[in-house]
């Protein structure tokens, strides 16, 4: 039970952290990595010595920010998620309880006996003739 709970928290924290830095799917991650690699290769082969070095340093800085930023974002999400998940469970449980209470009320109303009176009550009040 506890392992399953923390596995769900860990997986959701990872998914939210990836979404926060723009890598929602594996395809986006691969495309980002290929884009950075292509830019680095192009700058290495076709850039000037001074400009490519500066650009390379800038690209590596961006890559390092993402590499070191992901664990930080993940850790912050990991700390915040248990409370959020519990709140979501409470809200879902309350919605289900309200729905079930409405069903019980409807069934209770439907199961009450209904007595139909004749609309012509004057016939009941008249004196019987002998």
Per residue in 86-120, pLDDT tens? 899 999 999 999 999 999 998 888 887 766 555 66
Closest to 79 (Cα-Cα) out of 17, 30, 4 = 17
pLDDT of residue 16: 82
The model's pTM: 0.44
Tens digits of pLDDT across the chain (130 residues): 678 888 888 888 888 887 877 777 666 777 677 767 766 666 666 566 666 666 776 677 667 767 777 788 788 888 888 888 889 999 999 999 999 999 999 888 888 776 655 566 555 555 655 5
Helix (H, G, I), strand (E, B) or coil at 111: helix
Q: Tokens at residue 19, please? A: 């979404």
| DSSP one-letter code for 20 | H
Domain definitions of the chain by residue range: 2-81
Closest to 101 (Cα-Cα) out of 112, 91, 93, 111 = 93
């Amino acid at each position: 039970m506890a392992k399953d709970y923390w596995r769900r928290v860990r997986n959701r924290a990872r998914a939210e952290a990836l979404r926060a830095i723009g890598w929602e799917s594996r395809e986006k991650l691969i495309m980002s990595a290929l884009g950075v690699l292509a830019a680095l290769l192009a700058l290495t082969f076709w850039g000037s010595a001074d400009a490519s070095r500066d650009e390379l340093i800038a690209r590596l800085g961006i890559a390092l920010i993402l590499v070191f930023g992901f664990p930080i974002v993940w850790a912050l999400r990991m700390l915040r998620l248990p409370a959020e998940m519990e709140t979501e469970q409470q809200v879902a449980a309350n919605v289900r309880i309200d729905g079930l209470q409405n069903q019980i009320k409807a069934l209770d109303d439907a199961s009450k006996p209904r007595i139909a009176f004749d609309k012509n009550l004057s016939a009941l009040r008249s004196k019987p003739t002998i």
